[in-house]
Structure 1
Amino acid sequence: MINNYINNFESIMSTFLFYGFKYTLFLLVILLIISLIFLIVGCIIKSQTIKSKFLKIVPGLLLSLIFLLFLPYILVQFKNLI
């Protein structure tokens, strides 16, 4: 009976981690596309003030992208603890 609870809990956690990984990957792709669009727009714009604002946004998006890349690793480590 306890084994059934443990197996059920493991399957729920595996499903949760799989969907979390899938949505994280989807979010990473969207952030990468948005940051590249901002970079392209920032390079095309002639005005220096607007150009500098666009070029300041891109590193922030890329840093958040790098942070989100570590999220699946953290989730896998969390799963290994369980």
Structure 2
Amino acid sequence: MIKVENGVCEIKTSEGVPGMMTGLSIAVRSVKRILMEGCDHSETEAKKVIDRAVELGLATDEEVTQEAMAAMGKVMMLLKNPPL
């Protein structure tokens, strides 16, 4: 079982690594399906979103902080100079 709440991930499995990988695979397939059916993403777009999530999941804390700061900078620029 994989449970995420308030930014904390809890993983419970009695099957070790194979069980954990199965749970992760099922979760990824579910996210892909939701992106495609519920958010009207193409399969390619859904895979890009998932790939990005995996990149961030494998990133160091410093890399995640840098990514967040870059995103905040973009938001600030849009707030200062809204598109017409």
Do the two structures share a fold, i.e. TM-score over 0.5? no
Superposition TM-score, scaled by structure 1 size: 0.34
Give 1 or 2 for the bigger CA radius of gyration: 1
Q: Give the number of the structure with larger relative contact order, counting CA–CA contacts within 8 Å between residues 6 or more apart.
A: 1
Superposition TM-score, scaled by structure 2 size: 0.33
